[in-house]
Chains A and B, each alone.
Chain A
Amino acid sequence: MLEARMKVWRGDKNGGAFKEYKVPVETGMVVLDAMHYIQREIEPDLAVRWNCKAAKCGSCSAEVNGRPSLMCKTRMEGFAQQGQEIMVEPIQAFPIIKDLVTDVSWNYEVNKRIQPFTPKPDADWIIYQEDIERVQEFRKCIECFLCQDVCHVIRDSNRKDAFIGPRFMVRVASLEMHPLDTGDRLKFLKERGGAGYCNITKCCTEVCPEDIHITDNAIIPLKERIVDEYYDPIARFFKHVFVKK
């Protein structure tokens, strides 16, 4: 049987190191299975967060060979067949709790700052597909926070104080583009959400396990809406004279 050489980061906020394990590889096995094997057969105190094992709960985010990935969606065979060592470590942008588990609570705090869905009081709840299609893409988000992890503004420059990150740009887009919403989040987005901090280098899109086109469909359209309001006097004029929200 094929055997994978794994290096898993073990430690807590005081520090840690990679530890090596040998794990037998079965057909269809994913990295999360390997973590379960280690827990079951070698070291039961390995901390790993997971829930659905179906790439739908967003709990098992980690970095596998340096790539932010869902452990339950990352196959072992490819790496193992090439004789490649498989390195597993926690996502880098958030504080460590233990081993592969990080504290992502900052994200929930950010979420609270966003004005929630605010429908018109007399809204007609029949919604046409063409009006909701854009928003449906954003609703696929499973809050794995891999995009937050890979975003260099958060990861490298640690500007959590100034930028809400791609996951929440997606959430704002889902509200701003909603046909029944009456809220206006552009001022928040420009001044406190830090939309301008994103330099559209697209890493969020590259890692999103739900294939949401975060940059093209959420962030850039929001940046353009900010331009309408703050940088383009002609568009601003037309918007205020002719368009009623």
Chain B
Amino acid sequence: MNETNTSSRKTTGATHRTDDWQTYPTKILVVLTLFAIYGTYRAFENNWYEVGNLLSPFYSPKLEFSWWKFSPALLILPIPGLFRATCYYYRKAYYRAFFGTPKACAVTGTANPRYTGESSGIWTLQNIHRYAFYMATLVLGVLWWDAFQTLFAAGHFFNFSYFQISVGTIVFFVNVVLLSGYSFGCHACRHLAGGCLDSFSSSGASKTSLSIWERITKLNEKHEMWAWISLFSVMGADVYTTVVARHGIPADPVLFSMDMITNLVAK
């Protein structure tokens, strides 16, 4: 019963597909590689990550200890890194783009009669995804805090006479909203919120679970999209912070502030 295949399609990459199946894995390969290079460079750079009320998401929360001589980013980035690396969507993306298991559907992948997938070796670590979700959610909480910081001039947090909206505010809020869309559409979160139940109607609590589960399911259906746009937004927030820190494009242009209102009224 073990023989397969009628035609000669045993070699990797062999297929009779006539549509464009190469573009998807190629795009992923390029984007993930560029992101990894940029992320690694920024993590080790240990500079230009904080200016005024902006703190780059790559360095937040800022963990500075006397015993740690290297970049603080190296202490925090493993959390979002692990979260994305074990994400069910990114797994599909990198297995296809980097490992060819398979590159595309009905295209011969790296066939291996001893293949065990995620059931053995280092790959069983994928099962810790929900713990990565817990930790990444804490980090996300800090990033929301950072976004709120941008609503006040540096050094005046929660002083409403210093309320302002700058370009940085927009960049940071867009980023945390997209990151939240990604995190709360997570399959592990969907499971924990209600997917683990067999019956939704049995109690008041399980009915609440159902309504949360349904909302998460809505996000989860577009998890791939959230995964990409939040990756770009987090990079965008970092790039913006670096550029302001380095070149001070007049120290994060303010679009709205209480001073503006006062001046307007005085006129």
Where the two chains meet, the residues of A that have a C-beta atom closer than 8 Å to any C-beta of B are 9, 11, 13, 16, 18, 63, 65-68, 84, 87, 89-90, 92-96, 103, 105-106, 128, 130-131, 150, 152-153, 155-163, 176-179, 181, 194-203, 206-207, 216, 220-221, 223-228, 230-232, 235, 239, 245
B116–A199 CB distance below 8 A: no
A201–B101 CB distance below 8 A: yes
Q: List 6 A-B contacts (CB under 8 A).
A: A66-B17, A68-B106, A131-B199, A156-B102, A160-B1, A177-B198
Top 5 A-B pairs, shortest CB-CB distance = A196-B119, A66-B16, A66-B17, A203-B105, A224-B191
**Whole-angstrom distance between the Cβ of A119 and the nearest chain B Cβ:** 12
Report the number of A-B residue pairs with Cβ-Cβ less than 8 Å: 169
Chain B residue at smallest Cβ distance from A18: B7
A181–B198 CB distance below 8 A: yes
| Cβ contacts under 8 Å, B123 to chain A | 196
| Cβ contacts under 8 Å, B220 to chain A | 216
A197–B16 CB distance below 8 A: no
Chain A residue at smallest Cβ distance from B224: A202
Interface of A is mostly: mixed
A92–B4 CB distance below 8 A: yes
Distance in angstroms between the alpha carbons of A11 and B6 in the assembled complex: 8
Interface of B is mostly: loop
Interface positions, chain B 110-127, Cβ under 8 Å from A, are 110-113, 115-120, 123-124, 127
**Whole-angstrom distance between the Cβ of B118 and the nearest chain A Cβ:** 5
A150–B199 CB distance below 8 A: no
Chain A residue at smallest Cβ distance from B116: A197
**Beyond A181-B198, A194-B117, 11 extra complex contacts between A and B, CB < 8 Å:** A13-B3, A63-B16, A67-B106, A92-B4, A150-B106, A176-B198, A179-B198, A197-B116, A199-B91, A216-B221, A224-B191
A156–B118 CB distance below 8 A: no
Chain B residue at smallest Cβ distance from A204: B105
B3–A95 CB distance below 8 A: yes
| Cβ contacts under 8 Å, B111 to chain A | 152, 156-158
**Whole-angstrom distance between the Cβ of A243 and the nearest chain B Cβ:** 8
Interface positions, chain B 193-240, Cβ under 8 Å from A, are 195-196, 198-201, 210, 220-221
A199–B118 CB distance below 8 A: yes
**Whole-angstrom distance between the Cβ of B5 and the nearest chain A Cβ:** 5
**Whole-angstrom distance between the Cβ of A53 and the nearest chain B Cβ:** 24
| Cβ contacts under 8 Å, A103 to chain B | 1
Distance in angstroms between the alpha carbons of A162 and B9 in the assembled complex: 22
A220–B187 CB distance below 8 A: yes
Chain B residue at smallest Cβ distance from A128: B201
Residue of A130, A152, A176, A227 most packed against chain B (CB within 10 A) = A152
B102–A87 CB distance below 8 A: no
**Whole-angstrom distance between the Cβ of A213 and the nearest chain B Cβ:** 8
Distance in angstroms between the alpha carbons of A161 and B2 in the assembled complex: 9
Distance in angstroms between the alpha carbons of A105 and B1 in the assembled complex: 9
Using A150-B106, A199-B101 as known contacts, say yes or no to A66 and B15 having CB atoms under 8 A apart. Answer: yes
| Cβ contacts under 8 Å, A227 to chain B | 127, 129-130, 188
Distance in angstroms between the alpha carbons of A92 and B109 in the assembled complex: 14
Is there a chain A Cβ closer than 8 Å to B88's Cβ?
Answer: yes
**Whole-angstrom distance between the Cβ of B26 and the nearest chain A Cβ:** 16
**Whole-angstrom distance between the Cβ of A197 and the nearest chain B Cβ:** 4
B91–A150 CB distance below 8 A: no
Interface residue from B108, B120, B130, B201 paired with A196 (Cβ < 8 Å): B120
Using A87-B16, A131-B201, A220-B187 as known contacts, say yes or no to A200 and B91 having CB atoms under 8 A apart. Answer: yes
| Cβ contacts under 8 Å, A195 to chain B | 119
Residue of A93, A156, A221, A226 most packed against chain B (CB within 10 A) = A156
Chain B residue at smallest Cβ distance from A10: B6
Is there a chain A Cβ closer than 8 Å to B128's Cβ?
Answer: yes
Chain B residue at smallest Cβ distance from A219: B88
Is there a chain A Cβ closer than 8 Å to B23's Cβ?
Answer: no
Distance in angstroms between the alpha carbons of A20 and B15 in the assembled complex: 19
B198–A92 CB distance below 8 A: no
